[in-house]
């Protein structure tokens, strides 16, 4: 098999890994944000009620809601930080793709390589149509 064809295959494979990694990361973010929203709606309502009753005698009518708001902001910030965490899989796959494509460019000067790549492209298109 021509090296250009192998490099093109590597680039396509790296792109597929990057897409899968981004999809998984987006799913994790959505899941964490949904859990955070559910926590915010249901659990904090009861916690606020209990905390309000416990803090009102000692803090008063102004400081009690301010203290509860500060705790809410801290929890929201923590959940946002957790939702934004990423791993380096997509970036590593993109670097691999870029390296493969950079190595592929000089090989594309030969017409034999172009014919091989055209055959590879046709095979990929046919495979994608079957899905």
**Residues found in the chain:** 131
Q: CA–CA separation, 17 vs 34, rounded Å?
A: 26
- CB distance 87 to 18 below 8 Å: no
Instruction: Say yes or no to pLDDT of 129 above 70.
Output: no
DSSP per residue over the chain, as a string?
A: --HHHHHHHHHHHHHHHHHHHHHHHHHHHHHHHHHHHHIIIIIHHHHHHHHHHHHHHHHHHHHHHHHHHHHHHHHHHHHHHHHT---SHHHHHHHHHHHHHHHHHHHTTSHHHHHHHHHHHHHHHHHHHH-
- CB distance 95 to 11 below 8 Å: no
When comparing pLDDT for 49 and 7, which is higher? 49
> So what's the pLDDT on residue 89?
82
What does the pLDDT look like over 80-110, one tens digit per residue?
999 888 778 878 888 888 888 787 777 666 6
Q: CA–CA separation, 71 vs 65, rounded Å?
A: 10
> So what's the pLDDT on residue 128?
62
pTM: 0.41
Quick one: tokens of 100? 């493969």
């Amino acid at each position: 098999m021509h090296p250009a064809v192998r490099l093109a295959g590597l680039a396509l494979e790296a792109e597929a890994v990057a897409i899968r990694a981004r999809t998984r990361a987006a799913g994790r973010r959505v899941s964490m944000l949904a859990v955070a929203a559910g926590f915010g709606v249901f659990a904090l309502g009861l916690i606020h009620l209990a905390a309000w009753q416990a803090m009102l005698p000692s803090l008063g009518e102004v400081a009690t809601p301010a203290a509860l708001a500060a705790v809410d902001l801290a929890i929201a910030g923590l959940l946002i930080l957790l939702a934004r965490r990423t791993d380096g899989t997509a970036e590593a796959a993109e670097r691999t793709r870029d390296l493969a494509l950079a190595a592929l460019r000089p090989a594309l000067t030969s017409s034999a390589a172009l014919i091989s790549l055209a055959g590879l492209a046709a095979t990929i298109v046919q495979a994608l149509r079957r899905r």
